[in-house]
Amino acid sequence: MHLVYQLLTLVHLVGFATLLGGCVIQLRVLDPEVNLPMLVGAWTQVASGLVLAGLLELSSDPAHPVNHAKLGVKLGIALIVVLLVAKNRKFQSIPRGLWTLITGLVLLNAGVAVLWG
C-alpha cells in the first residue's frame, strides 16, 4: 500500500509540474493562453489528489487523524483552477490578469500542501 501511495504522490507532483510549466511558459508570450499542459496538469492534480486523500483516509492512524480542513482547501483551490482552465481553453488568448490568477492559485495550492502543518 505504501508503494501505491508513493507512486500516486509522484503522479500528483508530475501533474503539478505540468500545470506550473504550462503557466510559466506563458511568461514570455504577449497574449497568454490556456495550453494543453495546463489542462492535463490540472485534471491530473484533481484526480490524483482525490485518490491520495482516499488512501490517506483508509490508512489513517487514530493517533494521527487526517487533516480534512487542509484537504478541503486544497480540493477547493484545485477545482477552481480546473474550472478556470477548462472554461478558458477554447479562447485564443486570455487576459494577463486571469493568467496571473491561475498561476497564483497553482502556487497557493502548493503552498498549502507544504506549509500547512
Query: What is residue 32's predicted lDDT score, i.e. its pLDDT?
Result: 97
pTM as predicted: 0.94
Beta bridge partners of 61: 64
Q: What is the DSSP track for 16-73? A: HHHHHHHHHGGGG-SS----HHHHHHHHHHHHHHHHHHHHHHHT-BTTB---HHHHHH
Each residue's pLDDT tens digit, 53-106: 999 999 888 888 899 999 999 999 999 999 999 999 999 999 999 999 999 999
Asked whether the beta carbons of 81 and 108 are under 8 A apart, the reply is: no
Query: What is residue 52's predicted lDDT score, i.e. its pLDDT?
Result: 96
Long-range contacts of 25-29 (CB under 8 A, 24+ apart): 26/99
Biggest alpha carbon–alpha carbon distance for the chain = 52
Residue 39 neighbours by CB distance under 10 Å? 18
